[in-house]
Amino acid sequence: MSLYPSTAKIPNFPPPLDNKPAKGNSTFPSDLIADGRNFYTAIQFVDYSPSYQINNFGSYYTPNGGIKLPIPLKLNDNMILHWGAVSFMDGLAGGAMQIMQRSNRYGGAAAGAIGLTAQLGGILSGQALNPLMFLAFQRPEYREFSLSWILAPYNEKESKIVQNIIKECKKAASPSYGNILMGYPLVALIKMYPDDLFGSLYFKPCIITSVQVTYSGTPTPSFFKNGAPTVIGLTLNLKEMQFWFREEIK
């Protein structure tokens, strides 16, 4: 059974653009998927569409072309949810003070006096009112990922491929130019192979929050004859554009 139900159509919002093969397909290393090896990361950059945010349940897109890289060195899947502390007693006290303030012109002063008296009573008696605290669920948080690779080209030809991949990532993370209005950066569609790492890690559409490149990926920098570095570090920081709901996790 698929983890994702079919995506519902929402009227008055344009659907995502057709998931056409991306231009400038790049695979590193060149033999990444050769000889039956099928462990890799696929990333396709597509034009922004509000549907990637509006279709907020069960949206899942498979990359069609784009960049293919090895499985990142480190993969963390952290779900963060926001809960807030609520005091039932504070709510009652606040409501009572508002009533007093509205009842007459001296209500504000009386409410302040009552509050000070209650605090003084607690100091003298060594006792305080039970605040009756509870946790109230507020909202989930968008998942964030940091995908890091150490890319060591075998020759100058592969070095060119790495350079192209870095350029594509930077271009995707950048807005398009406009005299008054800038165009949104591209959206990243990501999938891990095989089978989303055996069904353990799925990605919803992501935005790129930063691109970090280390051109001296070793303690002692080294270069090819054409001046290209032999070891490059690449880190993509991403944030999903949609929340996860309980019904989506099967």
Domain ranges of the chain: 26-80+142-248, 82-138
CB neighbourhood size of 237 (10 A): 17
pLDDT: which is higher, 171 or 78? 171
pLDDT confidence of residue 5: 36
Q: What is the mean pLDDT of the chain?
A: 78
Q: Who has greater pLDDT, 155 or 112?
A: 155
Surface-to-core class of residue 139, CB atoms within 10 Å of its CB (0-12 exposed, 13-18 middle, 19+ buried): exposed
Q: pTM of whole model > 0.85?
A: no
CA neighbor of 239 nearest in space, from 198, 197, 188, 163: 188
Least confident span in 34-38, 151-155, 187-191 = 34-38
Whether the pLDDT of residue 3 is over 50: the answer is: no
